[in-house]
């Protein structure tokens, strides 16, 4: 296992270099830069513009700027945000907790509902429950997250039951600990529902297809021939093998901490990483964009590694040599 992990980390290095260089190249090819709007202001002299270009390194060639940024990253410094004039690491860290809480809560919500429903519709194939819940799943997958977010905000506005957007209330700093927790939970209810609906629908369909595929396999027929009850067959033999794809999906889900909730955060004004990345791209804040891209790439690669390790742990048919070849 140690050799497997070391080899995977070594393989991550060229991948991260390729991802970050291509991202740096694309951002540099965009017409204009962060100072373009300032250059159009007649009240700002060309000398001030040149000083700012030299300060942020925008007057240097692409390769030189990328090499300096990469050298700073090796020293755990993601650079300075052009828009906010603060360290990118601290800026991302300040927003990370909100996105982590939102993504983790929505993932738990989707899994806790999707897996039991997927089992029910698979066991009762072609029943009225299967048809109704499958229709609900297709509806959930077809409705865009941002549109559902608009509907939920309209619902909150009309009923007054939930806050209309935002991460916390205005008086949040003045509240005690339990009141702060309650305020956060209240603001999370609708965003978690919006993000959980699409994930719940796709997970339910995946669980249904996995159980239908496995429940007629040879080892399941053998279990039934031994006289085991259908409940034991489904929950002990079928379900355990059907969960393998979900282990992989959980690992890849780490990357969603950065971009999966971006549109929902933008629509519902949630102060998270997704909204921060959208603002950075819109303002051509190249160092903030690069820090976000690097974080997303690391989360994706580490999530893939954790998924492989978890798959080896839960499935005795998979070993490290087969996981490495996937």
Average pLDDT, integer, range 213-231: 73
Number of domains in the chain: 2
Q: Is 127 found in the same domain as 60? A: no
Of 35-49, 94-108, 165-179, the one with minimum mean pLDDT is 35-49
Spatial distance between the Cα atoms of 242 and 121, rounded to a whole number of angstroms? 14
Where residue 182 sits, what CATH number does that domain have? 1.10.3720.10
DSSP labels, 256-275: HHHHTTHHHHHHTT--SHHH
Q: Is 133 found in the same domain as 25? A: no
The 10s digit of each residue's pLDDT in 7-55 is: 878 888 888 888 888 888 887 777 766 666 666 666 777 777 777 777 7
The 10s digit of each residue's pLDDT in 135-165 is: 777 777 777 777 777 888 888 888 878 877 7
Residue 4 counted as domain residue: no
Torsion angle (degrees, nearest 10) of CA 15, 19, 20, 24? 150
Q: Is 143 found in the same domain as 283? A: yes
Integer Rg of the chain from CA: 24
Residue 3 counted as domain residue: no
Residue 81 counted as domain residue: no
What are residue 80's DSSP bridge partners?
87
Residue 90 counted as domain residue: no
Residue 79 counted as domain residue: no
**CA-wise closest residue to 276 among 287, 290, 289:** 289
Residue 80 counted as domain residue: no
**CA-wise closest residue to 124 among 215, 201, 199:** 215
Asked which of 24, 39, 74 is the last residue of a domain, the reply is 74
Q: Which domain holds residue 183?
A: 96-325
The 10s digit of each residue's pLDDT in 251-305 is: 666 556 555 567 777 777 777 777 777 778 777 788 888 888 887 788 778 777 7
């Amino acid at each position: 296992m140690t050799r497997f992990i070391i080899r995977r980390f070594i393989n991550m290095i060229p991948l991260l270099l390729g991802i970050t260089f291509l991202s740096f190249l694309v951002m540099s090819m965009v017409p204009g830069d962060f100072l373009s709007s300032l250059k159009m202001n007649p009240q700002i002299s060309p000398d001030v513009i040149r000083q700012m270009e030299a300060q942020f390194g925008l007057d240097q060639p692409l390769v030189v700027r990328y090499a300096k940024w990469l050298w700073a990253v090796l020293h755990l410094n993601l650079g300075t945000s052009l828009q906010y004039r603060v360290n990118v690491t601290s800026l991302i860290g300040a927003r990370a907790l909100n996105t982590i809480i939102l993504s983790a809560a929505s993932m738990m919500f989707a899994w806790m509902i999707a897996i039991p429903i997927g089992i029910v519709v698979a066991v009762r194939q072609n029943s009225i429950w299967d048809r109704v819940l499958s229709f609900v799943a297709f509806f959930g997958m077809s409705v865009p997250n941002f549109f559902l977010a608009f509907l939920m905000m309209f619902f909150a506005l009309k009923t007054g039951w939930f806050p209309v957007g935002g991460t916390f209330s205005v008086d949040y700093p003045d509240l005690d600990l339990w009141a702060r927790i309650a305020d956060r939970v209240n603001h999370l209810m609708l965003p978690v529902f919006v993000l959980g609906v699409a994930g719940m629908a796709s997970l339910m369909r995946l669980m249904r297809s996995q159980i239908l595929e496995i429940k007629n396999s040879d080892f399941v027929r053998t279990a039934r021939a031994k006289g085991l009850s259908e409940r034991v067959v489904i929950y002990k033999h079928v379900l355990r093998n059907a969960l393998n794809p979900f282990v992989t999906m959980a690992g890849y889900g780490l990357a969603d901490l950065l971009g999966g909730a971006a549109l929902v955060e933008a629509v519902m004004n949630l102060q998270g990483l997704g909204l921060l990345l959208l603002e950075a791209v819109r303002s051509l804040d190249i160092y903030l964009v690069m820090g976000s891209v690097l974080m997303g790439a690391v989360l994706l690669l580490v999530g893939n590694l954790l998924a492989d390790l978890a798959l080896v742990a839960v499935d005795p048919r998979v070993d490290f040599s087969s996981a490495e070849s996937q």
